[in-house]
Amino acid sequence: MGDKKLQQASAMQNNIQILCTRPLTKTLVQQALQQAILIDEISFIETAAIKNIAVQQEIQLAATQIATVVFTSMNAVEAVVNYLDGQPVQWNIYCIGTTTNQLVKKYFGEQQLAGIANNATELARLILKNRTIDKVIFFCGDQRRDELPAILRSDNIDLKEIIVYQTMTVTNLIDKKYNGILFFSPSAVESFFRKNKIPNTTVLFAIGSTTANEIKKYSTNKIITSNQPGKENLVATMIAYFT
């Protein structure tokens, strides 16, 4: 029995060890395992939909309008959908990210999807190409980035922000050395480095340039940035790097 445990420990040491700072599907974890890459999933942020009368009234008012709507987060989509409770809307929806895009199609239908981009800056510029748009409703979280609102307002777009979810940091102290760490948001980066230090050999993987720039505030380690949004793309980028 002791020999078997030693063999298992040796096998674990030979595998690439990865920390993912948000949950993944079993399929993605299995894809990595097939390449001798072991992924630990430990969250460093939590999100929760904001539930109050004011937000409910704002969403219900938006639901009565033919509007241009923006989602940059899957959490915002889910929060709004819960408030709508199946109520149909006439929205032209712009969004970023693979998961957010999929949720928009699932809940609102592909016919209401007006545009997709890889990040908030590209999405804002895509919206501005449509010169008929003069008002936008932005469903977002309490820690949303400034890029999209700043670009739209600089072009005199009437931007209505409705905060529908909040982000909370989760403190986890890591006592294991990893070959790589996957980050999906600036908030998770800040939360991770609040209590943790890493070897200079650990490779850091960022979902996009905004997250990569946040990592640079805390570490000089090598950063690999996914060229497309979505958990699937970042995991694929990591697997390609180590295989």
Question: Last residue of some domain: 167, 191, 210?
Answer: 167
Same domain for 197 and 163, yes or no, is no
Entry pTM = 0.80
Domain assignment present for 200: yes
* In a shared domain, residues 118 and 191: no
Number of domains, the chain: 2
- Both 80 and 177 in a single domain? no
pLDDT at res. 130: 94
Residues 68 and 119 in one domain: yes
176 and 73 within one domain = no
Say if 153 falls within a structural domain. yes
Question: Final residue of a domain: which of 108, 132, 167?
Answer: 167
Distances (CA, A) of 97 to 15, 19, 58, 100: 30, 21, 25, 5
- Provide the CB-side half-sphere exposure for 18 (13 A, CA): 29
Q: In this structure, are 162 and 217 located in the same domain?
A: no
Q: Which value, to the nearest 10 degrees, does the dihedral of the CA atoms of residues 189, 169, 124, 158 take?
A: -150
* pLDDT single digits (tens) 121-172: 999 999 999 999 999 999 999 988 889 999 999 999 999 999 999 999 998 9
- Note whether 66 and 31 are same-domain residues: no
Percent of the chain with pLDDT over 70: 95
Write the pLDDT tens digit of every residue in 176-221: 999 999 999 899 999 999 999 999 999 999 998 889 999 999 999 9
Q: What is the CATH number of the domain that holds 189?
A: 3.40.50.10090
Say if residue 124 is in the same domain as residue 206: no
How far is Cα 19 from Cα 33, in angstroms, rounded to an integer?
13
- Looking at the fold, whether 139 and 51 belong to one and the same domain comes out as yes
Q: Which of 50, 46, 56, 53 is CA-nearest to residue 76?
A: 50
Instruction: Report if residue 75 sits inside a domain.
Output: yes
Please check whether residue 140 lies inside any domain of the structure.
yes
Same-domain check for residues 19 and 123 = no
Looking at 100, 133, 167, the residue that finishes a domain is 167
The answer to whether residue 60 is domain-embedded is yes
Residue 52 lies in a domain: yes
Q: How far is CA 80 from CA 58, 175, 197, 241, in A?
A: 10, 38, 37, 37
Give a yes or no: residue 124 inside a domain: yes
Based on the fold, state whether residues 109 and 178 are members of the same structural domain. Answer: no
Let me know whether 145 and 232 are in one domain.
no
CA dist 236 and 31 (Å) reads: 9
What's the whole-number average pLDDT of the chain? 91
The parent domain of residue 210 ranges over 15-44+170-242
